[in-house]
A = this chain, B = another copy of it.
């Protein structure tokens, strides 16, 4: 499959690899300048007009997932959406075991590659000092999200990843994590402004959020430009502001162990009917509810 992708270079020109990590590859490229005869594209890129720059600005950003799994295909397929309510009990009894299964089987390899410095090390924008311990409990790092072209400042999209492996999602955050979360937030913002300040990025040009449900179960924070077009990825029912999590933990009753998995924390989110969460957990629960409502 990679071969047939490389063959695309006869119809996509100036293919430039931006990076690769595990099954993920990303590129910049150009569409060949049109017009072409409709009966087939030339095998190589035509000569550029005399005044064109040697390498024109890329007009394509390509993400390749190879080899991809059924989950990848489902994630990007058009499907009916459902809004579900995950109570603390459903989380504990059904969703957490699902997360555990998802974490197994090498699906986090690409994240561990980054943390271990095996891939994308040259892309890292900020990293907490490495500690002597094997896993730095408080460590985190910041690097470009694979969806960013690394160029258009108004669509800046970075990814903050924690080093510890025991926080799978926002559900694992507790009151005792508040000072650490605040510090992490501060560093992410500071590092981004330091790197991109010349291009006009200020602290208040940034939005920080996490996904629930996330695509992978290793805690990570999205850092984006406020001007980035807000689509499904920033929508309520998917994105939760980092600061609103911090505020919620801050005002929550209970001791330091109280947190986002405590009784009373219902999380409402949108999932597709093709997702395993829907098929394995929420659809069966709905059917059972309907059956009870109908007196069966």
Report whether A247 and B230 are in contact in the complex, using a CB–CB cutoff of 8 Å.
no
A209's partner among B236, B247, B253, B286 (CB-CB below 8 A) is: B236
Q: What DSSP secondary structure best describes chain A's contact surface?
A: mixed
Selected interface stretch from A40-48, A77-85, A103-111, A156-164? A77-85
Report whether A83 and B204 are in contact in the complex, using a CB–CB cutoff of 8 Å.
yes
**A233 (CB) vs chain B CBs: closest residue:** B230
Selected interface stretch from A28-36, A92-100, A261-269? A261-269
State in angstroms the CA–CA spacing of A250 and B83 once bound together: 21
Shortest distance from the beta carbon of A279 to any chain B beta carbon, whole Å = 14
A251 within 8 Å of B (CB atoms):
yes
Q: Which residues of B contact A230 (CB under 8 A)?
A: 230-232, 234-236
Q: Which residues of B contact A227 (CB under 8 A)?
A: 80-81
A252 within 8 Å of B (CB atoms):
yes
**A82 (CB) vs chain B CBs: closest residue:** B204
The interface bits of chain A over 243-258 (1 if a CB of B lies within 8 angstroms of the residue's CB, else 0) are 1101110111110001
Q: Which residues of B contact A84 (CB under 8 A)?
A: 204
A239 within 8 Å of B (CB atoms):
yes
Report whether A226 and B82 are in contact in the complex, using a CB–CB cutoff of 8 Å.
yes
* A193-225 interface (Cβ within 8 A of B): 204-207, 209
Known: A83-B204, A204-B84. A236 touches B240 (CB 8 A): yes
A247's partner among B83, B246, B264, B286 (CB-CB below 8 A) is: B264
Q: How many residues of A contact B (CB 8 A)?
A: 42
Q: Which residues of B contact A253 (CB under 8 A)?
A: 251-254
In this complex, the member of A81, A82, A235, A250 whose beta carbon has the largest number of chain B beta carbons within 10 angstroms is A235
A237 within 8 Å of B (CB atoms):
yes
Q: Which residues of B contact A58 (CB under 8 A)?
A: none
In this complex, the member of A232, A234, A286 whose beta carbon has the largest number of chain B beta carbons within 10 angstroms is A234
Known: A206-B83, A235-B230. A268 touches B244 (CB 8 A): yes
Q: Which residues of B contact A207 (CB under 8 A)?
A: 83, 236-237, 270
Q: Which residues of B contact A83 (CB under 8 A)?
A: 204-207, 226
State in angstroms the CA–CA spacing of A81 and B206 once bound together: 10
Known: A204-B286, A207-B83, A250-B264. A237 touches B231 (CB 8 A): no
Q: Identify the A interface with B (CB < 8 A).
A: 80-85, 204-207, 209, 226-227, 230-232, 234-237, 239-241, 243-244, 246-248, 250-254, 258, 262, 264-268, 270, 286
A-B residue pairs in contact (CB < 8 Å), sample of 10? A82-B204, A82-B205, A207-B270, A209-B236, A230-B231, A230-B235, A234-B234, A250-B264, A250-B265, A252-B252
Contacts A243-B267, A251-B265 aside, 14 further interface pairs with beta carbons under 8 A come to A81-B226, A83-B205, A83-B207, A84-B204, A230-B235, A234-B235, A241-B268, A244-B268, A248-B251, A251-B253, A251-B262, A252-B252, A252-B253, A253-B254
